[in-house]
A = this chain, B = another copy of it.
Amino acid sequence: MSRREKLRQIMLDDIKQVARQQMAENGTATISLSAIARALEVSQPALYRYYPSRDDLITALILDAYNDLADTEAAADSSQPSEYYGRRLMAVILAIREWAVAHPLDFQLIYGNPIPGYHAPEAETMPAARRGFAVILRILYQALLAGALKPRPSDLEQAARMSTRLQVEENGQAIDLPQVVLYIGVAGWYQTNGLIMLELFNHTRALIADPGAFYQAEMENLLNSLGLET
């Protein structure tokens, strides 16, 4: 990488970093190129050398958020011995909340209100969005094969309502994911997200003493009810 390319990379990152700071102060909807230019002490048109438009910058931020969350999940997963499926899931689930609390605006960027006037290029954002979800699905699938995950009758009923067949990579080949795994993944997803959202937007502040402990206990109950030991 040439000197020029290195400087360019630094500037690309600096712009995103300042944008994240601005979001943290004023919300996702107020990302503004002129404010970023001011903070970087650079003229406004200079930014167009790096991102051809405001939308492209937002897309870059969204992709970073999805990927950062997925990386965090993957790291939490591999921090546990691979045959302890419940502990692996629990580690990932706790990592998700910790990431959301540490990066509330990145979380809002991907799971909150859409930004007015911005249209996501789904061909780019969808694969990034799936990465984090795939971490959980893979663990659930392995747990099912090993007999550690024991779906209840109601889980099997709900599994029939899933409309897609997803595939997972296992040992280099793509395998059809059982619908019950997809269902349990979705169930865990909406429960974690729901609790995190209420916490982030202060709706439960007056009700729950220790949101982290509450979250953990809720999710342990969910995993235990599926036969998974944590």
Separation of A162 and B207 alpha carbons in the complex (Å): 6
User: Are the C-beta atoms of A204 and B186 separated by less than 8 Å?
Assistant: yes
Q: Does A121 contact B (CB under 8 A)?
A: no
Query: Contact size class for A?
Result: 35 or more
Interface residues of A (CB under 8 A from B): 26-30, 108, 111-117, 129, 154, 157-158, 161-164, 182, 186-187, 189-195, 197-198, 201, 203-204, 206-210, 213-214, 217-218, 221
- Copies per complex? 2
B residues less than 8 Å from A218 (CB atoms): 158, 187
B residues less than 8 Å from A111 (CB atoms): 197, 201, 203
B residues less than 8 Å from A192 (CB atoms): 194
User: Are the C-beta atoms of B112 and A214 separated by less than 8 Å?
Assistant: no
Contact of A27 among B113, B163, B186, B210 (CB under 8 A): B113
